Structure 1
């Protein structure tokens, strides 16, 4: 049995699953001040004591780190950047927060300039004075040779509560994205540590020893203890959970759209021939362009509880949520109230919902029913417009799925899968506006929890082999080893596959769910004068994102 839990901003959803089928499901209110309480309540709502004894894994998706970034509730971080020549600090992200110091590697991982010890000493005193004890350390070519990042980390060790080194978070050469990634990782580290501590207490209270995972942005899972060091991977966990939950319902031969309508936002994702699209360089959140591998999703501030109001005689919806619908005791009119008045949704207090629409009707000089129709139309129009904008943007550039680059591919959706609490009530109207068939999957109200529950563990490795220098580097592990001049691309892939499988097992993956694929490989000749002196080979390997195989219990 598997327990899946989605800790959302409004509700915490839970599902108990067996053989990828939901046995029980539940929704409880999220207590933002006490996540442990919410998770325990969600567990007790679906799992009896005898069920807990038979659990094989527990998986959570959470908006915790995402909300911290969106709301700018980030811890102070000492950002140390070794940018070297060729790029102005003002052209780099987080310029106003960074501390720039000497030291850089060449593009081949050879030391070009050592860090300045006196400069490091001054910086250390500055951090002590400012009471900064968490650090993000980034060097331009550290993925080719991490020694400088390691040296700076060691220099700050006696004043550091924690430090993040960029090469451990991403094997990408993209320097600006690694800066943003490393900064965010450290800025949410304390929050993730607190969550991990609470989840340890949660497991102690359950009295079981089974793997406990958190969903990552790429739709894969990571064990909670491992997430302490890489919390940035859990940003956009919630939208990824939706995609994994929808995956069993997506037609493999069709392009599709998934629309997850929540209380505050609507998350939109696209599928090419049944395969989710990927952010090829990394996810972007609140203008932070990161190197975090993630599924491609777009959000819009439209949800069942979005604030509906009249301004200058015009109806407006969202993006803020001021509380529940008036039908549930909330303070302002919402689309949920409109759905209740129209008789589409048989929930809540209809009299209170009618009062909500009457407030708007008085300002617009229309009947409550007319306004309710207008509210639902406006919500669906905003979502449909966002889908069209997203499609136009994606079809203007190369399309990447979680498995491959689709050169010249145009995404032309033939179906829309609508999930979330308001899904059964808004799907038809949305389909009419998009002129596209719609489907509301079974148990769409808890699709995030089921998606988290059934996601595979995913890991990746970036490897660079230089046969002239006779050195092979594995960026994420910060290691280098000697190789022969006769080392081939097949040798790189074979060695990387062995290490990736080991890494996946350490992350909690079962052997039957480890599917290794070469995500990218490049070979360049190293030329001196008129002679080829060796080869430079670059390989990225990944455990393919997807769903776990059926459980036997």
Structure 2
């Protein structure tokens, strides 16, 4: 039996899957003041009448890391970089002072200039003095928030070309380790080259470490309390999973775990063969994805979150601040949106729509659930599109009163205002999809399988999941003018995706026959090879390493493949050799097909 739990910004969903069938689902509100109790209650409810001994795996997805970055609730991080000669990179997006040190490793991993340990000693003393000053300032309780400081501090260390030779990075990390709660070394996060992205990735890994560790501890404690002993995995941004114990050391990989669960859920519930738009409409946001011939569009170099460009592999997705709990307001036309929401020949409705603002923020639950500000859900309530058996007369009246107060500002009835809100919500999503397609179709399209140089994405259908999906489907059909599909389990598709996702991994092999060295940074492999080492030997070796890693990740047979390979000659003075590069992966996929 597989258990899937998706913890979003508004709801926590859970599913149990056995023998290719969904045997139980749950949906609870998230209590942000007590996440442990939220998780525990959801698990109790989900397994209440199930045989716990049959649970073989628990898969989780969460927005905890993403939200920490977006809401600036991350740990304080010191950053030590060794950039060597060349471009003088700056990192204004990182809210930490960057500390540069001497030393240099070249692009082939040769040690050109060694570390200056006297310089490290001076830096260590300086960092300690800065920390003492901040602690003194933090003694004043009212300054803690302004300084955005946690009581424990983390460190990120990145040296240029550390994937080719990590000796300097390891030495620096070891030198400072005793002074920090946690240390990230850049070469451990990805085998791909890109110094600026590696710096951002290492910084974020340390920044979200504390909050993710707390989440992981809560999950582990909750499962222990209900006596579930199955292995625990967490979703990564590429749609695969990794063991929770590994995620604690590399929490940056769990960024956009929520959208990944959305996509995997849609993969499980839909027959995906054509160009499609995929939408997950939740309580806080709408996540947008695209398929090319049924294959997801992929982020080729890594995801961008906020201002941070990273090396984290990910399914291409974009989130917009529109969901069931998005707050509604009426604004002046000049403060609203200045493009048409409805048909061009309906200028009256267009002018009114410009005065309605949906989101982008969530300011609490809908009026229907005891909130204080009207939301998209309240508009649905006014149009009798919700199951009123679940609400009291007082709840329904309170929601209608809030919508009526907004409607009166535009001289509309509550029903007409609510109808206009839902039309605008659908058109807002359509406009964002159109903008994204313009961007994607102006450049090569990357999928998890290949690069499509001259391929245009031309969606022929829209597939929708999420709590508000069924209600908004008819409005989306009007604006997209395409068939809109909705699966039976649309409300808990994310949890289904989490339950069925399989482990993934990417490995990068570099063999330099002139220097007689082979490296696979992700596995910390740095070995000697012969001068006649071949591409075929590299292919065999990387798949062997990947298959061994796959056995540790799952009892099931996981598919592995080589996705990139190259071999070219090098000449250095009077000697020559080959540079062999191979990239391989455990393919993202589902552990079973839902019947």
For the aligned pair, the TM-score class normalised by the smaller chain equals over 0.9
Rounded to whole Å, the distance in 1 between the matches of 2:94 and 2:105 is: 21
State the SS of the aligned residue for 1:525.
strand
User: What is the CA-CA distance between 1:96 and the residue it aligns to?
Assistant: 5.5
How far apart are residue 536 of structure 1 and its match? Answer: 0.3
Deviations 1:359-417 (A, max 9, x none): 11110011111111111111111111011111111111111112222221111111111
Matching residue within 206, 225, 229 for 1:186: 206
* Cα distance between partner residues in 2 of 1:477 and 1:248: 31
Partner of residue 146, structure 2: none
- Asked if residue 173 in structure 1 is aligned to residue 190 in structure 2, the reply is no
DSSP 3-state at the match of 1:484: coil
Correspondence 1:237-252 to 2 at 5 A: 237-252=257-272
Q: 2:311 aligns to what SS in structure 1?
A: coil
Give deviations 1:442-486, integer Å, cap 9, x for gaps: 211111111000001011111110111111011123331111122
Choose the corresponding residue for 1:354, options 400, 411, 424.
400
Partner of 1:308: 328
Q: Determine whether 1:522 maps to 2:566.
A: yes
Say which is worse superposed, 89-98 or 118-127, in terms of deviation. Answer: 89-98
Deviation at 1:17, TM superposition (A): 1.1
Alpha-carbon deviation of 1:91?
6.4
Deviation at 1:503? Answer: 2.1
CA distance in 1 between counterparts of 2:308 and 2:588 reads: 24
Name the SS of the counterpart of 1:460 in structure 2.
strand
1:218 match: 238
Residue 535 of structure 1: how far off its partner (Å): 0.8
| Cα distance in 1, alignment partners of residues 182 and 96 from structure 2 | 22
Post-superposition offset of 1:437: 0.5
- Distance in 2 of aligned mates of 1:110 and 1:494: 26
Residues 251 and 395 of structure 1, relative CA distance in 2, 3 Å threshold: farther
Query: TM (normalized to structure 1)?
Result: 0.96
CA distance in 2, matches of 1:17, 1:130: 52
**What SS is found at the alignment partner of 2:384?**
coil
Q: Provide the residue aligned with 1:36 in structure 2.
A: 36
- 1:364 aligns to what SS in structure 2? coil
Tell me which of 299, 319, 324 is aligned to 2:360. Answer: 319
- Structure 2 CA distance for aligned equivalents of residues 163 and 265 of structure 1: 33
Q: List alignment gaps of at least 5 residues for structure 1.
A: none
Deviation readout 1:274-314 (Å, 9 max, x if unpaired): 11111010011011000000110001111111111111261
2: CA distance, partners of 1:49 / 1:381: 43
What is the CA-CA distance between 1:532 and the residue it aligns to? 7.6
State how 1:479-494 maps to structure 2 within 5 Å.
479-494=525-540
**Contact 2:81–2:159 (8 Å) recurs in 1:** yes
Q: Could you tell me which residue of structure 2 aligns to residue 509 of structure 1?
A: 554
Residue 331 of structure 1: how far off its partner (Å): 1.0
Comparing 27-36 and 225-234, the one that deviates more: 27-36
- Kindly indicate whether the alpha-carbon contact (under 8 Å) linking 2:268 and 2:497 is maintained by their aligned counterparts in 1: no
Matched, 1:431 2:477: yes
Which residue is equivalent to 1:546?
A: 589
1:19 offset after TM fit, Å?
Answer: 2.8
Return the alpha-carbon distance in structure 1 between the equivalents of residues 511 and 194 of structure 2.
18
Q: Retained in 2: the 8 A contact 1:217–1:294?
A: yes
Query: How far did 1:88 drift?
Result: 1.0
The CA deviation at 1:151 is 0.6
Give yes or no for contact 1:468–1:535 (8 Å, CA) kept in 2.
yes
CA distance in 2, matches of 1:58, 1:464: 35
CA distance 1:350–1:198, shift in 2 (3 Å): closer
For 1:387 and 1:118, the matched residues in 2 are separated by: 55
Change (3 A) 1:96 1:333: same
Distance 1:90 1:550, change over 3 A: closer
2:378 to 333, 337, 348: 337
Instruction: Report the TM-score when normalising by structure 2.
Output: 0.89
Q: Quickly say closer, same or farther: Cα 1:473–1:16, change in 2 above 3 A.
A: same
SS in 2 for 1:89: coil
Q: How does 1:72-91 map to 2 (within 5 A)?
A: 72-90=72-90
Partners in 2 of 1:48 and 1:316 — Cα distance? Answer: 42
Per the TM alignment, residue 551 of structure 1 is displaced from its structure 2 partner at its CA by 10
Q: Offset of 1:15 from its aligned partner?
A: 0.7
Q: CA deviation at 1:164?
A: 0.6
Q: Distance in 1 between matches of 2:594 and 2:364?
A: 39
Between 1:46-55 and 1:480-489, the stretch displaced more is 46-55
Aligned to 2:67: 67
TM superposition shift of 1:92: 7.5
Q: Choose which of 211, 218, 227 in structure 2 pairs with 1:198.
A: 218
Give the secondary structure class of the aligned counterpart of 1:94: coil
Q: Tell me the CA shift for residue 525 of structure 1.
A: 1.1
Paired with 1:496 and 1:268, the residues of 2 have a C-alpha distance of 34
Q: Which moved more, 1:271-280 or 1:227-236?
A: 271-280
Q: Please, which of 295, 303, 306 is the counterpart of residue 283 of structure 1?
A: 303
Q: 1 CA distance for matches of 2:313 and 2:233?
A: 18
Contact in 1 for aligned 2:102/2:116 (Cα 8 Å): yes
1:384 aligned residue: 430
Q: Deviations over 1:479-513 (max 9, x none)?
A: 3111112211111111111111222333x22342x
Aligned partners of 1:158, 1:264: CA distance in 2, in Å?
A: 41
Deviating beyond 4 angstroms after TM superposition, the runs of 4 or more aligned structure 1 residues are none
CA contact (8 A) 2:514 2:578 kept: yes
Secondary structure in structure 2 of the residue aligned to 1:27 = strand
**Partner in structure 2 of residue 393 of structure 1:** 439
1:535 to 565, 575, 578: 578
Matched, 1:262 2:282: yes
User: CA 1:329 to 1:157, structure 2 compared with 1: closer, same or farther past 3 Å?
Assistant: closer
CA distance in 1: counterparts of 2:320 and 2:178, whole angstroms: 44
8 Å CA contact retained: 1:250, 1:274: no
